[in-house]
């Protein structure tokens, strides 16, 4: 984990910027969903780059990152647009 500290620091910065942007656009649900969608894409890109640099990038790893991002986006979508 020590050698990946920079990777996780980048992820932490991206997630914090995403959360801050989410609250910054609290007046507009569509903008919030765009932020969450962009955050999901950045999460997938980060995961692919992280595993590529670590030398353990496989299709299943990419699929896992895509599914986790999709699940998070769906949960937040349904929470934002519930009746």
pLDDT band per the 50, 70, 90 thresholds, residue 82 = confident
Residue 1 in this model has a pLDDT that exceeds 70: no
| Distance (Å, whole) CA 35 – CA 56 | 29
| Distance (Å, whole) CA 46 – CA 7 | 8
Residue 83 in this model has a pLDDT that exceeds 70: no
Helical spans, DSSP H, in the chain: 5-24, 29-54, 59-80
DSSP letter at 4 equals G
Mean pLDDT of 46-62: 95
């Amino acid at each position: 984990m020590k050698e990946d500290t920079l990777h996780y620091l980048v992820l932490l910065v991206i997630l914090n910027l995403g959360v801050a942007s989410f609250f910054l656009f609290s007046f507009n649900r569509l903008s919030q969903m765009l932020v969450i969608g962009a955050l999901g894409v950045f999460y997938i890109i980060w995961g692919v780059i992280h595993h590529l640099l670590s030398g353990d990038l496989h299709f299943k790893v990419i699929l896992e990152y895509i599914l986790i991002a999709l699940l998070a986006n769906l949960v937040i979508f349904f929470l934002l647009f519930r009746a």
